[in-house]
């Protein structure tokens, strides 16, 4: 790892100040960034650690939304009674990220800002129509995830909170890579008053994406059978040593049906 200057601001304003420096990078839980630095795939001159900024932590229910501070660790989301009661699918998702030690460090804001094509949280944000709140503005999930590791975030922008509308029903099903625990394919299905949203992670060459054909079919009838005949085009899906594009296309159907089945069974 190349050396860098390390900053640990106690408030958002100072963090934004440090971020002005040449080649400055934010560090949240560091569970992706530190391995990246170790491999010298990134060499920032300044690291700005967000862990002491209290305004970035905490979980609360605000009206019809669950609002989670960007620096909230995966283990905290998984253990939160507030989240469990409102969106159990989100608790389950957080509880399935990496392993217990990774969940004790990794944060929701870090995961969303990094937008790894195989990360879990982007699927939840997209399917639940979450709003990503930054120091500057509120960005709907549909406009936030731009591509492989790309988001709508500007260089001087920090995610402060993520707000999830509470759905009527939701479930997340992931087929984890047995070594990395990242999603080989993960499908988040959510139904609210406006309709059904289906988001897929792990499979898209440009990161997380929605499946409108499944959404339309599930709008008519929310049951696994409704999407039995929806074909997923392997074009644009990831093909690597873990699985071909065709395999992932097939898995999307399987995981989506399981997610709908699980969501349909949630008591509400």
Partner 1 sequence: MPKVSLSVNGKAVSADVEARTLLVTFLREQLKLTGTHIGCDTSQCGACVVHVDGKAVKSCTMLAVQADGARVVTIEGLAADGALHPMQEAFRENHGLQCGFCTPGMIMTAVDLVNREGNDLDEQTIREGLEGNLCRCTGYHNIVKSIAAGAKAMKGKRRAA
Residues within the interface to partner 1 (CB under 8 A): 1-6, 8, 27, 30-31, 34-35, 37-38, 47, 49, 51, 75, 98-102, 104-105, 179-181
Are 121 and 208 contacting, i.e. CB atoms less than 8 angstroms apart?
no
CA-wise closest residue to 37 among 87, 2, 84: 2
CB of 100 to partner 1, least distance (A): 6
Residue 88 beta carbon to partner 1: minimum distance, rounded to whole angstroms: 18
Q: How far is the CB of 22 from partner 1 (least distance, A)?
A: 16
Q: Are 182 and 248 in contact (CB under 8 A)?
A: no
C-beta of 41 vs 229, nearer to partner 1: 41
Torsion of CA 241, 255, 147, 14, to 10 degrees: -110
Q: Which region, left, alpha or beta, applies to residue 20 given φ > 0 means left and ψ of -120 to 50 means alpha?
A: alpha
Q: How many residues does the chain have?
A: 268
Other CB atoms within a 10 A radius of the CB of residue 11 amount to 13
Cα–Cα distances (Å) from 229 to 173, 175, 250, in that order, read 19, 21, 11
**Which is closer to partner 1, CB of 8 or CB of 216?**
8
> At closest approach, how far in Å is the CB of 210 from partner 1?
29
- What is the smallest separation between the CB atom of 175 and partner 1, expressed in angstroms? 15
First-last CA distance in the chain: 50
Q: Which long-range contacts (CB under 8 A, 24 or more apart) does 38-41 make?
A: 38/1, 40/1, 40/2
Distance CA 199, CA 94 (A): 16
Nearer to partner 1, 7 or 191 (CB): 7
Nearer to partner 1, 106 or 165 (CB): 106
> Would you say 49 or 192 has its CB closer to partner 1?
49
CB of 129 to partner 1, least distance (A): 31
């Amino acid at each position: 790892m190349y050396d860098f200057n390390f900053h640990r601001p106690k408030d958002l304003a100072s963090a934004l100040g440090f971020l002005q420096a040449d080649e400055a990078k934010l560090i949240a839980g560091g569970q992706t960034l530190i391995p990246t630095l170790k491999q010298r795939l990134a060499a920032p001159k300044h690291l700005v650690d967000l862990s002491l900024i209290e305004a970035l932590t905490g979980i609360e229910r605000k009206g019809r939304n669950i609002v989670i501070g960007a620096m909230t660790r995966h283990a905290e989301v998984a253990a939160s009674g507030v989240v469990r009661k409102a969106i159990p699918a989100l608790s389950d998702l957080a509880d399935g990220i990496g392993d217990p030690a990774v969940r004790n460090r990794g944060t929701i804001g870090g995961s969303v800002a990094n937008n790894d094509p195989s990360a879990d949280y982007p699927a939840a944000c997209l399917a639940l129509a979450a709003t990503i709140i930054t120091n500057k503005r509120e960005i709907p999930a549909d406009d936030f995830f731009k591509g492989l590791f790309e988001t709508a975030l500007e260089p001087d922008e920090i995610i402060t909170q993520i707000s999830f509308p509470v759905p009527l029903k939701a479930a997340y099903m992931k087929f984890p890579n047995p070594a990395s625990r990242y999603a080989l394919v993960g499908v988040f299905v959510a139904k609210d008053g406006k309709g059904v949203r289906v988001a897929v992670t792990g499979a898209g060459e440009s990161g997380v994406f929605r499946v409108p054909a499944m959404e339309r079919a599930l709008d008519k009838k929310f049951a696994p059978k409704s999407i039995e005949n929806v074909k997923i085009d392997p074009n644009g899906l990831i093909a690597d040593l873990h699985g071909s594009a065709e395999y992932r296309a097939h898995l999307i159907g399987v995981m989506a049906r399981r997610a709908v089945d699980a969501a349909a069974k949630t008591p509400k």
